[in-house]
Amino acid sequence: MTHSEHATASSDSAAPRRRPLAPDTRRLETRSARAWTEPMAVRSLDSGRYAVDGASGATYTVALPDGDCDCPDRTFRGERCKHLRRVAIEVTEGRVPPPGRRRDRCAGCRREAFVPEDGPPVCDACRPERGNRATDRETGDTVVVGRLTDETAAERAVPGANCTVADYPANGSYPDDDPVVEVVYPFDGPDFDDRRRYAFPLSRLAVPGETPVA
């Protein structure tokens, strides 16, 4: 009966479960409690490293993937110190980027996001994957994504046109700093990797979150 299916679906999205926002620090070991409650400032550096300004005024460097910190507690006592724990908490809470990511404005949706540390600033939702179908906003044509490149539209030359992708007449309304996406046409020859690639500014493509087809 379709009626009961509806009832099931709506109960999934009903009132959220009750839960505390922070753990009960009375039940935590001292270092964890201090990680939650002491005033500290965490900044992400690169390669999974974070600078932590501690309550004492000292700044320590945490290397999260190695589980390391250069504070005395970690260095001399070998403890999992409050700085390491604080960084792990802030990563889990989404306050600082996880290792391998940095905070930047996504070139697609123009919202702040944790984008890959290397390569163009594109969030996971906007990142075109090889084989995704996309629609050319100028012509309505369906194209297939080859790859997202490290070049911007202002850096990439159009072969034979003596201009860049940004200067190309049909691309006038897209940002010069858009990352370039190489696409192929679905009907253009049998072998994906042998098809001619065309360079598009990212925002000229409408990419529905679709299952790869190629």
Is residue 106 part of the contact set for Zn ion (CB under 5 A)?
A: yes
Is residue 195 part of the contact set for Zn ion (CB under 5 A)?
A: no
Whole-angstrom CA distances from 176 to 2, 8, 36 are: 51, 48, 43
Q: Segment 57-96, which members bind Zn ion (CB under 5 A)?
A: 60, 69, 71, 74, 81, 83
Is residue 123 part of the contact set for Zn ion (CB under 5 A)?
A: yes
CA 21 to chain CA centroid, Å, is 25
Query: Which H/E stretch holds residue 88?
Result: helix 82-92
Closer of 40 and 144 to Zn ion (Cβ): 40
Near Zn ion by CB under 5 A: residue from 41, 109, 163, 206 = 109
Give the CA angle between residues 200, 46, 72 to the nearest 5°: 170
Is residue 207 part of the contact set for Zn ion (CB under 5 A)?
A: no
Nearest to 160 by CA among 199, 203, 190, 201: 199
Is residue 127 part of the contact set for Zn ion (CB under 5 A)?
A: no
Footprint of Zn ion on this chain (CB under 5 A)? Answer: 60, 69, 71, 74, 81, 83, 106, 108-109, 123, 126
